[in-house]
Amino acid sequence: MLLSYTAARQKVIEVAQAQRHQPARETVDLPRACGRVLADSVVADRDYPPFDRSTRDGFAVRAADLAAPNVTLRRVGEVKAGDNFERAVNSGECVQIMTGAPVPVGTDAVVMIEFTKMEGDRVTFDRAATARQNIVFRSSEARASQQLLGPGTRLGYAEMAVAAQVGANRVGVFARPRVAILSTGDEVVDMTATPGPFQVRNGNGLSLETLVALAGGQAEQVGNAPDEKVALRSYIERGLRADMLVLSGGVSMGKYDLVEAVLAELGAEIFFDGVAIRPGRPAVFGRCQGKLVFGLPGNPVSTMVTFELFVLPAIDVLSGTSARPLPVMGARLAEAVHEKEGMAHFLPARIEQANGEPVVSVLPWKGSGDVVTIARANGFLVVPAERPDWAAGEWAPVLLRRGPEGASG
């Protein structure tokens, strides 16, 4: 019986975690660390914020002076971000303040400028004030020496901002796992070559290299192996020098689909060689000579779907972090969908905004070799195996495509 894609994915994660060893670590300049996984902690170098900070443009006041609306106070100065008001503020006084500026001593509230009228140095407030309003107080975000980012954290834009804010201009990160990429098939030629009438350029190799980079791995192209056992074995042995091997093609049931047979000769342990999905049913996952090996179907759409489902979480684990959840969102179906029962279907789709909500349309496509349609898609409509029929207007799951228009890597 074929595994469900969720069970197959979980199996990949379990096997990767069981054999994971602590990756090597290196220190890099922070601007070069985006997408990397932290090996060390990032801690606060001081309190954050380091002073009581205004969150609005307005006037710093003593809340007790504004217990009721329509009170007038005397403006005794102003303070902007980066400056400091030199003296304490007394009762009956206020200080004009800008967003991000330190709140003057003696004040405990900031009233937004929209609720005031100023004539000369006299400011009238339309409403009452309450203590602490529009102020972020010192150390309320973080205290000095507090861990802000722990080992195993992947550095995205928010994490990069945190590290920069606390002065972590060089950070310890885990080495990226080396992922060997091996294409197979006599019909495949290099992307720089002129193909014969019955040949295709190797788009899968570059697609996989891009997917590995988005996932945080270091891709190593092994080449393209012909449909011949001895040569294929040599290519696979070269690929096994990396931390992980990803093959495309040669995993179906045809006469020249030789990947599983060669892996068996090399002593591989196969955990699954088929998943109840379409496209991507013949996906293979195993371990050979201590390395994780993935055999992905050679059709481009199958390759992309199975990489997202199975290879990416393994790269996460070998990178020193946890597997990311699948980037699935809900969207309203533009039209009814009917698929065969028993398989989960991943249909190339386009998600757009309409009337303030996401709407998904399945794109017309010519099967799992139709890479042109995939380039137009920004996701895949997921039709669960147990529910093949969906009506127009229903909310359905969509797997976002990683890339410029899809989920972040």
Full pLDDT tens readout for the chain, 409 residues = 799 999 999 999 999 999 878 889 999 999 999 999 999 999 999 999 999 999 999 999 999 999 999 999 999 999 999 999 999 999 999 999 999 999 999 999 999 999 999 999 999 999 999 999 999 999 999 999 999 999 999 999 999 999 999 999 999 999 999 999 999 988 888 888 898 998 888 888 999 999 999 999 999 999 999 989 999 999 999 999 999 999 998 887 666 589 999 999 999 999 999 999 999 999 999 999 999 999 999 899 999 999 999 999 999 999 999 999 999 999 999 999 999 999 999 999 999 999 999 999 999 999 988 899 999 999 999 999 999 999 999 999 999 997 654 444 3
Co-location of 180 and 255 in the same domain: yes
- 109-112 and 147-149 strand pairing: unpaired
Co-location of 67 and 40 in the same domain: no
Distance CA 88, CA 111 (A): 18
Is there a domain that residue 340 lies in? Answer: yes
CATH assignment of the domain containing 249:
3.40.980.10
Which residues does residue 67 pair with via DSSP β-bridges, in sequence order?
none
Co-location of 354 and 277 in the same domain: no
Residue 332, judged by CB atoms within 10 A of its CB (0-12, 13-18, 19+), counts as middle
Which residues does residue 184 pair with via DSSP β-bridges, in sequence order?
225
CATH assignment of the domain containing 160:
3.90.105.10
Co-location of 127 and 215 in the same domain: no
Which amino acid, 236?
A: I
Is there a domain that residue 342 lies in? Answer: yes
Is there a domain that residue 115 lies in? Answer: yes
Measured CA distances, 15 to 49, 171, 261, 271 (Å): 43, 29, 21, 9
Which residues lie closer than 8 Å to 18 by C-beta, 6 or more apart? none
16 phi/psi in degrees, rounded to 5: -65, -40
CATH assignment of the domain containing 367:
2.40.340.10
Q: Which two tokens stand for residue 286?
A: 């195993």
For residue 41, give its domain range: 35-46+143-174
Co-location of 113 and 200 in the same domain: no
Co-location of 128 and 169 in the same domain: no
Q: Which two tokens stand for residue 103?
A: 């709140």
Distance between start and end Cα atoms, the chain: 32
Is there a domain that residue 226 lies in? Answer: yes
Domain boundary pick from 318, 340, 369: 318
Q: Cis peptide leading into 197, omega within 30 of 0?
A: no
Co-location of 183 and 164 in the same domain: no
User: 232 and 217 in contact (C-beta within 8 Å)?
Assistant: no
How many domains would you assign to the chain?
4
